[in-house]
Amino acid sequence: MSTAVIRKSIDVVNVQKVVDSETNLTIFEDSFQGLARFESEPQDHMRAAEQNERGCLDSRTKYEDSLQGCNMKTAVLVGLLCLMAVAYADDELKINKLQIGVKTRVKDCVQKSRKGDQLHMHYTGTLLDGTEFDSSRTRNQEFTFTLGQGMVIKGWDQGLLNMCVGERRILTIPPHLGYGERGAPPKIPANAVLKFDVELMKIDRDGEEL
């Protein structure tokens, strides 16, 4: 074999070694870059996780602030309701006598109601807070009873005396002259002060209409 051929073979081998070396270097660089990316990815994940955690904490803080605001509003509302209940109870305790107010007067009153008269009435009954519990006006039907015979509550027997036909009164009746400790469930609670808007429509006396 000639020297030229040997040299050529050596050159080919050397070139191949260089190519292989460059290939290995490229593979190594790619591997290194991949490793770098692998090492950087956890950091990116960590940053994302930290951002998510901060977002959650911010949301939780806003929720807690909102909850505290709601609790404060609820506390204020409950406090107001308690004050109203106390004031309402105080008003009821202060009313211990029958109160009679005249809403409509009659100029020419010939006969006034007395015990034993049969009265024809229209009325609307409410609690002290304005809650309506009964009304003959709603039914469009007069209520008839005999005055002073215990057919109605004491507040009526006392509050409808000396009343003229066409007259309209407001009766404020304390519990002991109304339904007392028993009340009249479900609409009238125990120890309730009652208000009646009453109107005398007609008087029957000894079979005669007055």
148 and 122 inside one domain: yes
Q: Is 37 helix (H, G, I), strand (E, B) or coil?
A: helix
Among residues 173, 179, 197, 203, the one annotated as catalytic is: 179
Among residues 117, 153, 157, 173, the one annotated as catalytic is: 153
Task: Judge if the upstream peptide bond of residue 186 is cis by omega within 30 degrees of 0.
Answer: yes
DSSP-derived letter for residue 132 is: E
| Host domain of residue 136 | 96-209
Among residues 88, 95, 133, 143, the one annotated as catalytic is: 133
Residue 129's nearest CA partner among 78, 88, 169 is 88
Residues 165-200: pLDDT tens digits? Answer: 999 999 999 999 999 999 999 999 999 999 999 999
94 — pLDDT class (breaks 50, 70, 90) = confident
Identify whether 204 is a catalytic site residue: no
46 and 136 inside one domain: no
Residue that finishes a domain, picked among 64, 79, 94: 94
Identify whether 123 is a catalytic site residue: yes
Q: How far is CA 206 from the centre of its chain?
A: 55
209 — pLDDT class (breaks 50, 70, 90) = confident
139 and 197 inside one domain: yes
Identify whether 153 is a catalytic site residue: yes
Domain count, the chain: 2
Identify whether 10 is a catalytic site residue: no
Q: Two tokens at 39?
A: 């090492």
Q: Is 187 helix (H, G, I), strand (E, B) or coil?
A: coil
The CATH number for 112's domain is: 3.10.50.40
Kindly report which listed range (107-111, 125-129, 180-184) carries the lowest average pLDDT score. Answer: 107-111
Looking at the DSSP bridge assignments, the partners of residue 134 are 125
Residue that finishes a domain, picked among 94, 109, 141: 94
Looking at the DSSP bridge assignments, the partners of residue 184 are 188
Residue 114: the pLDDT is: 97
Residues 32-81: pLDDT tens digits? Answer: 455 455 455 556 656 766 776 677 677 677 767 766 765 766 666 656 65
75 and 121 inside one domain: no
Residue 106: the pLDDT is: 95
Residue 171: the pLDDT is: 99
Identify whether 133 is a catalytic site residue: yes
75 and 118 inside one domain: no
Residue that finishes a domain, picked among 69, 94, 119: 94
Identify whether 38 is a catalytic site residue: no
Which residue would you say has higher pLDDT here, 87 or 127? 127
